[in-house]
Amino acid sequence: MRPTALATRSARHPRLPPSVWGLTLCQALLISGNVLLIATSPLIGARLAPSAGWSTLPVALQLLGLTAATLPAGWLTAHLGRKRTFVLGNLVGLAGIAACLLALVQAHFGLFNLGTFAIGMSIGVGMLYRFAALEAAPEPLRDSALSWVMAGGVVAALAGPWLAEHLRDALATPFLGSFMGLGGLYLAALGLLSTLRFAPVTPRATPLPPPRPVGQLLRQPLLPAAIACAALGYAVMNLAMTATPLAMSHAGHDFGAVAEVIQWHMLAMFAPSFITGRLTRRLGHARMIAIGALCLFASLLCAWLTPAVWAFALGLGLLGLGWNFTFLPASAWLTTHYRAGEAPRVQAINDCAVFALTSLSALAAGPLNAWLGWQQLNLWLLPAVLLLLVIALRAARATRHGSGARTIRGGQERLRPLARRAAEQAHPDEQRTRQR
C-alpha cells in the first residue's frame, strides 16, 4: 500500500497515539494510590488526631496540596514541558510517602499531615494527565481520549481497596504496609513516564496570537460555567465520599465493609468512562452534566434509606456515576473555550478552582459528620447539587440558541452567492452597465 494511501486511511480513521495509552496506565497508578489514601487516611487520622473533629485533616491537607500545586504545575508545564513536570510531581509524591511512613512509625499526626500534603501536590500535577491526553489525540477523538485516560480508574477501583485492606496489617505498625505499596505505585508511574513522548504544549512551527488576559477569558459566559460545573460536582462527591468511612464506622461496620463500599464507588466513578465520551458527543457537554447532577441528587437521598451496607454502596455508586457525568464532560467542555497558547493558564485556573473548593469540602467533612450526622450532612449538600443542575440547564439552553444562530448565519452566508448569481442572470443589462 502506498504511503499516500496510508495517510488518507489514517486521516479517515484516526487512532489514539501510544502516549494516550501510557497516560491511561499512569492514571490508573495515580488513582490507585488516591483510593488507598481515601480508604485509610480518615482512619489513620482518627487514630493519631487529638480529637475526632480533626480526623479528616489529612484528607483536607492532601487536597490543599493538590490545590496548591495547580498554578505552579501550569507554569512548569509552559516552561519545562509535560514530561519534566510529571516526573517532578512523582518525585514530590515519593518524598511525601516517605514522610507518611516515618509518621506511622513514630505515631506523629503533624508529620503524617505534612506527608499527605506533599502527596496531594503530586496528585495535583498528575491531574493534568487528562489534558495531556486531549492534546495528544486527534480532534475527533479528544472526548474518547479523555474517557480512556479516566477509565484507568477502573483498575484503581480494584487495586486501591485491595492494597489498603491486604497490606494494612502486613507489618507490625497498622497501615505501614499500605503506604509501602503506595510507594511501589509511584515508582512504577515514574518508570512509565520516563518512556513516554509528549507533544509540545504550544506548537513551535505555528505562529500563535498572544494569550488573552485572564479577565477577558473569564468573560466568556460558558468558560466559567464549565469551571463551576467541574468544581461543584467534584466538591459534592468528595465531601460525601470523605465522610463515608466515618459514617460507616459509626454505624458499626468494619474496615472490610468500608473498603468494599469505596471499591464500588470507584468503579462507578471510572467504569462509565468507556461510554462517557460517546454520550457526550451525542448529547452535548451541558446535557451530560445535567444528567450527572440528577445522579448526585439521587445519591444524597440514599442516606435516608437505612444505615445498612447496601444503602451506603448504592449511594456511593450513584455518587461516583454523578461525578463521572459532571467532571469528565466539564473538563472536555473547558478545552473548547481557549486557544492553544492559553491551555496551561486556563487549565491551571480550572484545577485551582476545582480543588480549592474540594479541599474545603474535605476539611468540612469530619466536623460536619460529627455535628450533623450522616443524614443531615447529605441534606445540606442538596442546594449545591441544585445549583449545579441550574447552571448546566442554562448552559444547555445558551448552547442550543448559539448553535441555532450560527446555523442561521451559516445558511445566510451560503445563500448570498446564490442570490447574487440569480440577480445577475435576471438583469444582465444592468450588470453590464455596472461593469462599464
Residues 195-208 have pLDDT tens digits of 887 766 655 555 56
* pLDDT value, residue 202: 56
* pLDDT value, residue 74: 78
* pLDDT value, residue 96: 93
Provide the grid cell at 139.
Answer: 480532534
Provide the grid cell at 298.
Answer: 439521587
User: What is the torsion angle, in degrees rounded to the nearest 10, for the CA atoms of residue 150, residue 311, residue 373 and residue 50?
Assistant: -60
Q: Which single residue is written with the C-alpha cell 453590464?
A: 432
Provide the grid cell at 160.
Answer: 486501591
Q: Which single residue is written with the C-alpha cell 461525578?
A: 323
For the chain, list residues with pLDDT below 50. Answer: 1, 3-11, 403-419, 422-423, 426-428, 430-431, 433-434, 436
* pLDDT value, residue 401: 62
* pLDDT value, residue 289: 94
C-alpha span between 252 and 249 (Å, rounded):
5
What single DSSP character describes residue 143? H
* pLDDT value, residue 349: 85
* pLDDT value, residue 201: 60
Each residue of 66-105: b (16+ CB within 10 Å) or e? bbbbbbbbbebbbeeebbebbebbbebbbebbebbbebbe
* Amino acid symbol at 41: S
